[in-house]
Amino acid sequence: MRQASTILTVATRGRGFTEITQEIATWLGATGIQEGLLTLLCRHTSASLLIQENAAPAVKTDLAAWFERLAPESDGYAHDDEGPDDMPAHLRATLTGVNLSIPVRYGRMQLGTWQGIYLAEHRRAAHRREVALHLLGE
Amino acid sequence: MRQASTILTVATRGRGFTEITQEIATWLGATGIQEGLLTLLCRHTSASLLIQENAAPAVKTDLAAWFERLAPESDGYAHDDEGPDDMPAHLRATLTGVNLSIPVRYGRMQLGTWQGIYLAEHRRAAHRREVALHLLGE
Amino acid sequence: MRQASTILTVATRGRGFTEITQEIATWLGATGIQEGLLTLLCRHTSASLLIQENAAPAVKTDLAAWFERLAPESDGYAHDDEGPDDMPAHLRATLTGVNLSIPVRYGRMQLGTWQGIYLAEHRRAAHRREVALHLLGE
């Protein structure tokens, strides 16, 4: 049994979803670990991780509209030092969460056919985001 | 230290909650692992996993009504190829998430007294759903 | 590779957020494990865990208001045996989830600079809450 870890850096272009499934699969393959447990942690409070549909682009449009409905930009927040998009970004990150755990078999993540891993950027501006990857297995 | 894994198949009867705590406990017992970490991944984007109250059935009624309020069926979604219940199903799966990590001691999941593990089916129709189980321990 | 586990007890003062990052870091340090995976499970259905901004107190004010908006206290719930704050507590716990997985390197959790770990109490009354901690590593 052994461990591997790395930091994946994701350059976002502002609010939206960046699929990172392939980058993670490539790193996983390079470790040579065949069976184990993969853990992802997004090291930010206004970006987050989610597993969602990887085929229909309209899903992302609807997800973004839903985030705006559940945690809208408004001038009604107590925390507004960093602008009106900051507090809704924290709320949206809370909604989806910042960590994922994915079993690995035969050197591959055991995702379903239609599942992709996405980093969700919740701020308006482009950011460099870090995702800590950890793998334990053999 | 060793690993065990399996796929649990859950036949749902359409929208609603199926408790899977006992099936998981049975599999866990059969592995003989006493102390470790159990990971669950629902391999779908319109079904999800949650830990909730296992005693009062009314909790499930209220949860279902809450899902309908936060992510209603409507004709206002961009993604509607698979019908009006598809996009709200993706949103509800995002709300609860598709993976869980549960510490194991003395051969049992360290759940609280009132906690049960549920697969939530978010589509109207019955489906066969897969949950990947992974256990690491000794 | 070895394991360590404990139960962290958190005395809450009713609804609100209790930061537990330091208690966890202290326990982690005492195990001597340098590289591994830390898992947290809140053993309740009306309290939950989240990673959020650890600097600006106003974030907690806005989070609390948002919980009240998405899962309000009301007399419209089917499950009300334990009072009007019980069912919204279950919904808020579902919203944030009860478990977290955090990679560990150099004996420290790989959290980002602004990330803190919080136990969220969703009932009005003070409670003693249990968080199961599990660490696997070397």
Does B133 score more than 90 pLDDT?
yes
Tell me if B87 and A138 make a contact (CB, 8 A cut-off): no
Question: Is residue A1 helix, strand or coil?
Answer: coil
Residue C86: its pLDDT value, please?
A: 96
- The average confidence (pLDDT) of chain B is 97
What is the rounded average pLDDT for all residues in chain A? 97
Nearest-by-CA chain A residue for C54: A45
> C104 with C25: CB under 8 angstroms?
no
- What was the pLDDT predicted at C2? 97
Distance CA B138, CA B108 (A): 13
Confidence category of residue A81, pLDDT binned at 50, 70, 90: confident
Confidence band for A40, pLDDT divided at 50, 70 and 90? very high
- Between helix B86-96 and helix A86-96 the angle, nearest 10°, is 90
Q: Looking at the predicted structure, is the pLDDT value of residue A47 above 90?
A: yes
Give percent above pLDDT 70 in chain A: 100
Give the tokens for residue C31: 């195990």
Could you please report the per-residue DSSP string of B25-63? HHHHHHHT--SEEEEEEE--SSEEEEEEESS-THHHHHH
Measured CA to CA, the distance from residue B5 to residue A102 in angstroms comes to 12
**A114-125 core/surface letters (b: 16 or more CB in 10 A; e: else):** bbbbbbbbbbee
Instruction: Report the pLDDT averaged over residues C84-90.
Output: 96
Do the chains contact at C87 and B62, CB–CB below 8 Å?
yes
Q: How confident is residue B81, by pLDDT bands cut at 50, 70 and 90?
A: confident
Helices (H), chain C: 21-31, 58-70, 86-96
Q: Is C33 on the interface with A (CB under 8 A)?
A: no
Band the pLDDT of B75: cuts 50, 70, 90. Answer: confident
Alpha-carbon span C61 to B107, nearest angstrom: 41
Kindly list the structural domains of chain A, giving each domain's residue range(s) and its CATH number in brackets, ordered by start. 2-137 (2.60.120.460)
Mode of pairing for the β-strands spanning B128-137 and B2-11: antiparallel
**Chain C contact set for B101 (CB, 8 A):** 39, 41, 99-101
Beta carbons of C3 and B36 less than 8 Å apart: yes
State the ipTM, two decimals. Answer: 0.96
Q: What is the pLDDT of residue C81?
A: 86
pLDDT at residue A128, rounded to an integer: 98
**How many CB atoms within 10 Å of residue C65?**
14
Q: What tens digit of pLDDT does each residue of B6-42 get?
A: 999 999 999 999 999 999 999 999 999 999 999 999 9
Tokens of A54: 């990887």
pLDDT digits (tens, 9 = 90+) for A57-79: 999 999 999 999 999 998 899 99
pLDDT of amino acid C75: 83
If one counts every other C-beta atom within 10 angstroms of the C-beta of residue B55, the result is: 11
Whole-prediction pTM: 0.97
User: Is residue A3 over pLDDT 90?
Assistant: yes
Q: Does B74 touch chain A (CB under 8 A)?
A: no
Per-residue pLDDT, C126: 98
In this model, does residue B113 exceed pLDDT 90? yes
Say which DSSP state A55 is in: S
pLDDT tens per residue across span C22-73? 999 999 999 999 999 999 999 999 999 999 999 999 999 999 999 999 999 9
